[in-house]
Amino acid sequence: MLSQTTPEVAQEATHGAHEAAQAGAASFDPGASIVGHILDSDRYEIVHGVGFDLPHLPTIQTAFGEIDFSITKHVGMMWIAGLVVAFLAWRALRRVKDPVPSGMRNALEVVIVFIRDDVARKSIGPGADRFVPYLVSTFFFILTCNLLGLIPGMATATGNISVTAALALIAFVVIQAAGLREYGVIQHFKNLVPHGLPMWMVPLMFALEMLSMAIKPFALCVRLFANMMAGHVVILAFISLIFIFGDLFSPTAAWLASPVSVGFALFVHFLELLVGSVQAYIFTMLTATFIGMSAHPAH
């Protein structure tokens, strides 16, 4: 139901400041401006008040409620991220037969080898190479989504909890598939309970481990979403201080606050370059760790 409500809320929040200014209540609403930027919407705004409506598709009625397949701002950003990753991979594969890697191929190979050797093989162990394509794809997709959101006029798809929940759901399927492939259904669930426990503790431990299976992807989802959303909120809050000072005091106060606000916003913006890369790595690394725990449980 989140996908049905957030576009409407975002659209109302995006236009809230403009409507308030026309009504004379306030010339700037920082809350509406920030919320309108970070929430998903069926309207893509390049800058405040300048944008275009995205195509609206019909909803489909199911037993679980209506499913809206309309294209939203964050859906468009995921498409752009996918195209960017595909283009970079295509550029690298053009020189795959060169004896000495160079250019884009060399840059991508460094990251791919790092994920294979230092993430997959160390976290998963035997049979890790079969998961490398998934881990590499996850890392580059999340990294691209994170970095695209730092470009003016674009949005951060990973700042939408629906997007991170979908990524976590895919990770959950891969994690369970690793254990099921290795041991089968019955033995996979038996491995959830450590050997040697008293019989009366087995049901309790099994219930706790089943809960842990759901908590692991939930943690992946919330960590990525919260970190990416928080950075944009901080940047927008610093920029909003300029307009707040102008409303509360005078245009001179806004000009005096501008260097400080813009300076801090730029600092956080460049910090987000590091945060976006680190969060992509953490998501990939934790996913590999959970796959290793499922495929090779310790008793």
pLDDT at 119: 94
pLDDT at 197: 77
For 91-114, give the secondary structure using H, E and C.
Answer: HHHCCCCCCCCCHHHHHHHHHHHH
Rounded mean pLDDT of the chain? 83
Strand, helix or coil at 47?
strand
| Chain position carrying tokens 């093989």 | 121
pLDDT at 14: 45
Q: Indicate the range of 27-31, 144-148, 169-173 predicted with least confidence.
A: 27-31
| Mean pLDDT, range 52-64, rounded to an integer | 74
What is the rounded distance in angstroms from the CA atom of residue 269 to the CA atom of residue 150?
Answer: 7
Distance of CA 294 to the CA centre of its chain: 24
Q: Is the pLDDT of residue 245 over 80?
A: yes
CB 140 within 8 A of CB 90: no
CB 74 within 8 A of CB 163: yes
CB 239 within 8 A of CB 152: no
Q: Indicate the range of 69-73, 113-117, 147-151, 271-275 predicted with least confidence.
A: 69-73
Q: Indicate the range of 13-17, 178-182, 185-189 predicted with least confidence.
A: 13-17
CB 14 within 8 A of CB 31: no
pLDDT at 46: 66
Q: Is the pLDDT of residue 188 over 60?
A: yes
The whole model's pTM is what?
A: 0.82
- The size of the chain, in residues, is 299
What is the rounded distance in angstroms from the CA atom of residue 27 to the CA atom of residue 21?
Answer: 4
Provide, rounded to the nearest whole percent, the portion of the chain with pLDDT above 90: 37
| Mean pLDDT, range 227-247, rounded to an integer | 88
Q: What are the tokens at 108?
A: 């991508």
Q: Indicate the range of 57-71, 131-145, 243-257 predicted with least confidence.
A: 57-71
pLDDT at 299: 57
What is the rounded distance in angstroms from the CA atom of residue 6 to the CA atom of residue 159?
Answer: 13
| Chain position carrying tokens 């004896």 | 99
From residue 113, alpha-carbon distances to 39, 107, 116, 120, 174 in Å are 36, 10, 5, 10, 21
Q: Is the pLDDT of residue 32 over 50?
A: yes
| Mean pLDDT, range 266-293, rounded to an integer | 93
What is the rounded distance in angstroms from the CA atom of residue 148 to the CA atom of residue 210?
Answer: 36
What is the rounded distance in angstroms from the CA atom of residue 191 to the CA atom of residue 213?
Answer: 12
Q: Is the pLDDT of residue 287 over 90?
A: yes
pLDDT at 18: 43
Q: Is the pLDDT of residue 271 over 70?
A: yes
Closest among 51, 49, 58 to 76, alpha carbons compared: 51
Please list, residue by residue across 126-150, b when 16 or more beta carbons sit within 10 angstroms of its beta carbon and e when fewer do.
ebbeebbebbbebbbbbbbbbbbbb
Q: What are the tokens at 230?
A: 């928080």
pLDDT: is 94 or 145 the higher one?
Answer: 145
pLDDT at 295: 86
DSSP 115: I
Q: What are the tokens at 41?
A: 């919407």
pLDDT band at 34 (very low <50, low <70, confident <90, very high): confident
What is the rounded distance in angstroms from the CA atom of residue 125 to the CA atom of residue 86?
Answer: 28
pLDDT: is 71 or 82 the higher one?
Answer: 82
Phi, psi for residue 68 in degrees, rounded to 5: -100, 120
pLDDT: is 218 or 105 the higher one?
Answer: 218
pLDDT at 50: 66
Tell me the angle at which helices 2-23 and 161-190 cross, rounded to the nearest 10 degrees. 160
| Mean pLDDT, range 193-215, rounded to an integer | 84
